[in-house]
Structure 1
């Protein structure tokens, strides 16, 4: 039997209330080994982030003064199709700070936070922090964590929220945010170096995920919009659009393919194969942190890989 979205949320809320009633001594932990209830120590600021991207940024700023739960942390999980659990809702019910991407990317956070009854949490929406809006007649590219100026603004916003929750350590959070932003500046310098050497060169993508990065590097996305939109939405690409996309590689009209590994399928695999057959470098990217990487290390690898591909 299928359920409507509203009924599904209601069922989750009921299950969560039962869980809250019986979990006083629970030792359940999330995939990172952290207590899914939102914190192992009452002295720490409990934070829930929709993905481990925002979770890691928060840890860089909060250090040992925060207890962070990242709802999505599996690099093989497509965030667009994620279905949150009762454990997630329990964490949200106890969070002092909640960080979401926004822009339609992780709407489950809004639904579950509302059902949790936690109206006092400080909420941070990365898309709203970015100030970005959709161009007229187009959709917003919500993947704002690939935009370093946005992440810099977000760092300040996170530091302010943590400082509000823990005023005794507000100065520490501010200093940590400044140190983090200096590392972002170094990444922007790398982007500027790519732009200086390769401005106007064409690249292909499978999804809009890396576009803030490629645009900052001065590169021209040649992929038909119909292709990348269909892949992002999980729809089939028309044969005409697929052939138009494949010709970018057989005709060597692009210098690299930036490929989202988290949403691969038969049609994106055809594009990847076409690039490889043509000797065009493939630069893999993901939407969440790979295992063993922090945000700065991850983005440094992405920028360096793009530069290396273009320099071939």
Structure 2
């Protein structure tokens, strides 16, 4: 979504400029230490986790958004972030209007680093009039493509460790393919089950499991854009629960509004399971464990 409220960037321009003037050789943090590792900056820790799994000790990763308690729809850059981008060897952005701050940071830092745009890599955005779901980090086939691309780029930046990157990528790909197998199996038993969400965060997971999202588009789009929800759309959404039309509600735990809280209460009142979903990794989780937990939670909710 091009106008998505997620991650608008009020750059701290003055502070960033000061940090970049006279401090060009100073590390932004231990993640950009100039210790010979490949320096990667990812827009979120979802992508940072994948890079770290592939690169191990041969990469230093800065994930700009990495706080699970943070509302990812509100982001402010810092001089430290700007400096990390300026020193990066590789940048990873989601794209699709999700994290436009990465483009702003890269231009401000005048970086020459290659950038992986995951939405473009995915091939999922076919254009047209349909609203595009930019949460491609819930698409396991896309993550398989990303792993291969990251391994190739790291190998080009650090040819001495190319074999290590390839081996780690192969192991990670096997785990991602296992997630795909699980969703395919779930599709055999749960195809067509009706579900709802507050925002289309888990949309690709629902698609892979064959689930039918029946959330009024006017509701989820308004929530995602931070706009007022049309009263008719709110009423139609609440009716999904009072009529017990859906088997579960996926609730974005990192953002809330009076309308999403109202919908959550309606689901609770109707005894319909609420599955929490996030846009960044919870503490202590890597990408695979995070998505495994998502699959398990949705499967358990459908079984009730």
TM-score, length-normalised on structure 1? Answer: 0.91
How do 1:76-91 residues align onto structure 2 when only pairs under 5 Å count?
76-91=69-84
Q: 2:217 aligns with which of 208, 225, 229?
A: 225
Quote how far apart the aligned CAs of 1:17 are. 3.1
State whether residues 80 and 105 of structure 1, in contact with CA within 8 Å, keep that contact through their aligned partners in structure 2. no
Partner of 1:3: none
Quote the offset at 1:112 in angstroms.
1.1
Which digits, 9 at most, give the CA deviation of each residue in 1:48-67, with x for residues without a partner?
A: 00000000000000011000
Separation of aligned partners in 1, 2:109 and 2:230: 42
- After superposition, give the CA deviation of every residue in 1:26-76 in whole Å (9 maximum; x if it has no partner): 6764xxxx34xxx22431000000000000000000011000000011112
- Any unmatched runs of 5+ in structure 1? 1-6
Q: Which of 260, 263, 271 is equivalent to 1:271? A: 263
Deviation at 1:190, TM superposition (A): 1.2
Of 78, 91, 113, the residue aligned with 1:98 is 91
Relative to structure 1, is the Cα distance of residues 90 and 27 closer, same or farther in structure 2, using a 3 angstrom cutoff? closer
* Greater alpha carbon shift after TM alignment, 17-26 vs 57-66: 17-26
Choose 295-304 or 132-141, whichever is displaced more: 132-141
Instruction: Give the structure, 1 or 2, with the largest relative contact order (CA under 8 Å, sep 6 or more).
Output: 2
- Measured in 2, the distance between the counterparts of 1:198 and 1:63 equals 37
Q: Deviations over 1:250-281 (max 9, x none)?
A: 00000011111111111001111111111111
1:111-153, Cα deviation, whole Å (9 max, x unpaired)? 111110112x021111011011155312211100000000000
Match of 1:4? Answer: none
Matches within 5 A, 1:39-58: 39-58=32-51
Question: Helix, strand or coil for the counterpart of 1:176?
Answer: helix
Please give the TM-score of this superposition, normalised by the length of structure 2: 0.93
> Pairwise CA RMSD of aligned residues?
1.7
For 1:52-71, what aligned pairs fall within 5 Å after superposition? 52-71=45-64
Aligned length: 296
Equivalences for residues 141-180 of structure 1 within 5 A: 141-180=133-172
Q: CA deviation at 1:238?
A: 1.3
